[in-house]
Amino acid sequence: MTTTVPDAQAPEAVFDAALAADERIEPRDWMPDAYRATLVRQIAQHAHSEIIGMQPEANWITRAPSLRRKAILMAKVQDEAGHGLYLYSAAETLGTGREELLDKLHSGRQRYSSIFNYPTLTWADVGAIGWLVDGAAITNQVPLCRCSYGPYARAMIRICKEESFHQRQGYELLLALSRGTEAQHAMAQDAVNRWWWPSLMMFGPPDDASAHSAQSMAWKIKRHSNDELRQRFVDICVPQAESLGLTLPDPDLRWNEQRGHHDFGAIDWDEFHEVLRGNGPCNEQRIERRRRAHEEGAWVREAAAAYAAKHDGHHGTHDKHAEHTEHDNHGKPEEAAA
Amino acid sequence: MPAALALGDDALVLSHRLGEWAGNAPVLEEEVALANIALDLLGQARALLSLAGDEDELAFLREERAFRNVQLVEQPNGDFAHTIARQLYFSAYQQLLYGQLASGEGPFAPLAAKAVKEVAYHLDHAEHWTLRLGDGTPESHARMQRALDALWRYTGELFEPVEGVSADWPALQDGWSAYVTDVLRRAGLTLPEGPREGAWTAGAGRQGIHTEPFGRMLAEMQHLHRSHPGASW
């Protein structure tokens, strides 16, 4: 309890002072319950997005049109699983567990990014995801590298490096298509047409309708508003689309000299809310596949736990492990062959 | 270069099968591990196929009868135990073979020297899962045994000499048997019985005779590339 702590050292005051000084909050520091809950929600949602986000791209691993592209795509999907692992670890520092979070994902009590409820219909979608979806993610995530919660900020630094790499690869994939045959160019344009608006929705609802924004900004979890980041993203994408030789599907998109920004058309927020409500094109299929992988893998996880209990969980003096280490040195094929 | 095709096709096809696991693994760590192994194998395949010609032409424009991989690597993933059994059998073979090639002076020596380090990791992964599944729960034990039994008939082919690969094939077979026997014993599993040789197994994949699931796998793998003749990606 805090009764013996002098007023100036009250945990709320320490927390507020740390935020004011732009210091990081660490797992063992006191933090308001609502700050903790917000972070768990956001980091878990972020982790879930990495995991669900593997599906639309994995959909093309077995059909990638060249071995080089196949290797790039496999590496990317592998990175996403790794990002999921970092983020679940970051969430666990807040006193929750990966199992609990996965359970919430599978039962629909926690969300993942709405973008992954759209289908990947052609190979070019893999490029559009890299360029636009990862591009939007990076625009969102770079400020999170300065987020007030230390473990999250550090996870984001590692993740952003890899994401930037993926984004460039996606751009390069689209460039190859855009400069390729007529059919390839058309495939690239079609993918950009389908992914542009959903990518803009990744920044969340407009500022005047964003429930958590003000508090998150006060806590320095968020550093910029949804609309600010969305505008930044549009301004980055317009010249990139031009150099790709592709158009963005927005007749209202034009440079505004006075604002020094691009104006762009209205987002279909009804669609956004429908997708969030579970009525997007792939919501059911994504969760179903995740649930199935988890359920079908239960016996494997149980086997690993049972094995560990038998072999690593020696609580007494009998050292089973030594016995096994000895075994492990035998029968490696290079020795057996010698 | 038929030898490069045989070894390259093994790696290419197994890599493809492992790629099918993406998003379906029993635990996140295995998403990373299986993709990692698939990537290593794809890297080996690209190096080997490039020795034989253009990697993409060879991967995407040959028909089933022209592939030279062993039948073991084209077997469907099945459950996690089948995937692990396939990997144990194949990685043990690959490690012994590449170990020999790396210490020789043939055209595959530099490639084998790099690959043998990757394969040591693959084998360690497969071995530890064989132990966990074999000595885990009654269900995992039964599944692992079933998988080992089901894939056994495809292991004889591994030791059919490949033209242009200068290896001591009998020593390879002995080393492989000794290793597999030891791992299965430690896992509390039984070494499968039954034929490992016969017209439809020994040497068949190397001669372009494959199992039914393989054609379907190739249809999926090659479809996009074949739909855009001459395009570059």
**Main-chain phi, psi angles of A10, to 5 degrees:** -55, 140
pLDDT at A247: 98
Are A65 and B60 inside 8 Å of each other by CB? yes
A232 Cα to chain B: minimum distance (Å): 30
Chain A hits for B223, CB-CB cut-off 8 Å, are 63
Pairwise CB contact (< 8 Å): A333 & B225: no
- Residues A31, A32, A33, A36, CA torsion sign: negative
Q: What angle is formed at CA A13 by the lines to CA A10 and CA A18, rounded to 5 degrees?
A: 130
Inspect the interface and report whether the beta carbons of B19 and A78 lie closer than 8 Å.
Answer: no
Cα–Cα distance, A211 to A141 (Å, whole number): 19
Q: pLDDT at position B201, please?
A: 64
Q: Read off the pLDDT band of A324 (50, 70, 90).
A: very low
Q: Do A331 and B224 touch (CB under 8 A)?
A: no
Task: Give the mean pLDDT of B79-99.
Answer: 98
Q: Say whether A333 and B137 touch across the interface (CB within 8 A).
A: no
Mean pLDDT score, A27-38: 96
Q: Which of A297-306, B101-110, B193-202, B221-230 has the lowest mean pLDDT?
A: B193-202
What percent of chain B is modeled with pLDDT above 90?
92
B138 touches chain A (CB under 8 A): no
All residues of chain A having their beta carbon less than 8 Å from the beta carbon of residue B36 are: 78
Percentage of residues in chain A having pLDDT higher than 90: 87
The whole-number average pLDDT for the span A172-186 is 98
Residue A293 to residue B24, Cβ atoms within 8 A: yes
What residues of chain A lie within 8 A of the CB of B123, using their CB? 333
Q: What is the mean pLDDT of residues A54-59?
A: 98
Q: Do A63 and B223 touch (CB under 8 A)?
A: yes
Q: Does B45 touch chain A (CB under 8 A)?
A: yes
Residue A292: partners with Cβ closer than 8 Å, 6 or more residues away:
B24
- For residue A316, what pLDDT band results from cuts at 50, 70 and 90? very low
Residue A312's identity, in one-letter code, is D
Domains of chain B: residue spans and CATH:
2-191+202-227 (1.20.1260.10)
Q: Which of A84, A85, A139, A132 is nearest to A112 (CA)?
A: A84
Q: Identify the CA nearest to B51 among candidates B114, B96, B6, B17.
A: B6
**What is the nearest CA distance from B34 to chain A, expressed in angstroms?**
9
| pLDDT average, residue stretch A154-182 | 96
In this structure, how many other beta carbons lie within 10 angstroms of the beta carbon of residue A61? 25
Q: B residues 104-133 near A, CB within 8 Å?
A: 123, 131-133
Using the CB atoms, write b or e for A92-125: b if 16+ within 10 Å.
bbbebebeebbebbbeeebbbbbbbbbbbebbbb
Please report residues of B whose CB lies closer than 8 A to that of A55.
23
Say yes or no for a CB contact (<8 Å) between A337 and B175.
Answer: yes
A79-83 long-range Cβ contacts below 8 angstroms, 24+ apart: A79/A162, A79/A166, A80/A50, A80/A51, A80/A53, A80/A54, A81/A50, A81/A51, A81/A54, A81/B28, A81/B31, A81/B32, A81/B35, A82/A162, A82/B32, A83/A47, A83/A50, A83/A159, A83/A162
Cα torsion A331, A337, B4, B5: sign: negative
Task: Render the burial of B78-98: b for 16+ CB within 10 Å, e for the rest.
Answer: bbbbbbbbbbbbbbbbbbbbb
* B66 in A contact zone (CB under 8 Å): no
Do the chains contact at B182 and A62, CB–CB below 8 Å?
no
Position B195, amino acid: P
Domains parsed from chain A with CATH numbers: 12-97+108-204+215-310 (1.20.1260.10)
Sequence-distant (6+) residues with CB within 8 A of B195 are: B153, B156, B201
In chain A, which residues have their Cβ closer than 8 Å to the Cβ of B32?
A: 78, 81-82, 85
Predicted local confidence at residue B32, as pLDDT: 97
Tell me which DSSP letter residue A202 carries: T
Picking from A67, A81, A177, the nearest residue to B35 by CB comes out as A81
What is the chain A residue with the closest CA to B222? A63
Does the model's pTM come out above 0.90?
yes
Contact B176/A at CB under 8 A: yes
ipTM: 0.97
The DSSP code for B227 is H
Q: Are A307 and B42 an interchain contact pair (Cβ–Cβ within 8 Å)?
A: no
Beta carbons within 8 Å of B111's beta carbon, 6+ residues apart: B44, B47, B48, B51, B101
The pLDDT assigned to A209 comes to: 87
- Per DSSP bridges, beta strands A261-263 and A254-256 are antiparallel
3-class secondary-structure state, position B229: coil
Confidence of residue A323 (pLDDT cuts 50, 70, 90): very low
Q: How many residues does chain A have?
A: 338
Sort out which chain A residues have CB atoms less than 8 A from B122's CB and list them: none
Does pLDDT of A325 surpass 90?
no
Whether the predicted pLDDT of B80 surpasses 90: yes
- In the A/B pair of chains, how many CB contacts fall below 8 A? 183
Share of chain A above pLDDT 70, in %: 90
Q: Report the pLDDT value the prediction gives residue A317, as an integer from 0 to 100.
A: 45
